[in-house]
Amino acid sequence: MKRFLIVVLAAALFGSVAFAQTATPKVTKRQHHQQQRIKEGIKSGEVTKGEAARLEAQQGKIAVDKAKAKSDGVVTAKERAKLQREQNRASKNIYKKKHNEKVQH
C-alpha cells in the first residue's frame, strides 16, 4: 500500500511538472488582452480595417509561434522570451495604430 501511494504521488508530481512546462497562461492572457485592444480600436474608429488586418496577422503569427513552442512538450525559457518579445512588439504596434493621427474625411 505504501509503495502504491508513493508511485501515485510521483506520477502526479511528474505529470504536473510536465504540464507546467508546456502551459503558457501569461501568453494566452496577453493575447486575449491585445485582441480586446484591437477590437476597441476598431469600434472607436482609432484603428482602420487595414491596420486591424495587419495587427490581427501579427497576433496570428504569435499564436503559431506559441503552438510551435508547445509542440515538443516543453516551452523553454528561450521560447518564452521570444514570445514575450513578439508580444511587446505587437503591443507597441497596437498603441501606435490607436494613437496615430488619421485624417477623417
Residue ranges of domains in the chain:
2-99
User: Is pLDDT of 62 > 90?
Assistant: yes
pLDDT (0 to 100) of residue 12: 56
Contact 62, 34 (CB under 8 A): no
Q: What is the structure's pLDDT at 90?
A: 97
> What pLDDT sits at residue 101?
78
Q: Residue 105's pLDDT is what?
A: 46
What pLDDT score was predicted for residue 23? 86
DSSP assignment string, 11-63: HHHHHHHHHHHH--HHHHHHHHHHHHHHHHHHHHTSS-HHHHHHHHHHHHHHH
5-61: per-residue pLDDT in tens?
565 555 555 554 445 578 889 999 999 999 999 999 999 999 999 999 999 999 999
pLDDT surpasses 50 at 76: yes
Question: How much is the pLDDT for 34?
Answer: 97
41 and 94 in contact (C-beta within 8 Å)? Answer: yes
At residue 75, the 3 state secondary structure works out as coil
**Per-residue model confidence (pLDDT) at position 68:** 95
Per-residue CA distances from 4 to 8, 9, 10, 17, 72 (Å):
6, 9, 10, 20, 30
